[in-house]
Amino acid sequence: MNDIVIQTPRDAAPSSQQLLLFFHGVGSSAEDLSGLGQVIAQRHPQAHVVSVRSPDASDLGQGWQWFSVLGVTAENRAQRVAAALPRFQQAVRDWQQRTGVPVERTTLLGFSQGAIMALASAVVAQPLAARVVAMAGRFAAQPAAPDLSTHFHLLHGQADGVVPAQSSIDAQAWLSAAGAPVTLDLFPGLGHGIDGRMLARVQEILAADAGMI
């Protein structure tokens, strides 16, 4: 276990506690999202806040990954995501077990590959979170039957040259057509990253949905 526990609530009653799990991108590490987690934790004293490390050393030569992106294509990406999904789901379940926080008070916040995995986990039978915040993410394939109980929030830089913003635009269209609760925010000039505007929007989402969980 090389996850980073950013915050453990001390005074919140068990029934009011939340679980906010952050998932980094390929070639990155749990430390890279810990700063974002610390900022968000300040406004959510009732939340367990954890930055989760991917399980495998990255094929890129540094950092960690859920699946390899070497030779990845639109045709084989879905298979790689599906193969990695059980371990991702187990990581979420492990933290729910450790904290005692149930699915309905769990939020997954992913960036890039972390967002890909979080989105994939929410469109299967019995998803493990009430809310997914996907930053610079994508679906590996069009979801067949998203669970309508999960709230989806898609955030993407319009100048992203790694995961094109069209990926989130398509995801929003698919989810809307299926009747899933979804929001989409695009940030002009932002590449493959997180800036102050995106952070502010994440804070707004978490505050607006606070009564949901």
| Active centre residues (catalytic) | 112, 160, 192
> CA 90 to CA 162: how far, in whole Å?
28
What sign for the dihedral angle of Cα 98, 19, 133, 151?
positive
> CA 2 to CA 7: how far, in whole Å?
15
Neighbours of 194 (CB within 10 A): 19
Bridge partners (DSSP) listed for residue 5: 50
3-state helix, strand, coil in the chain (%, to 5): 35, 20, 40
> CA 177 to CA 166: how far, in whole Å?
16
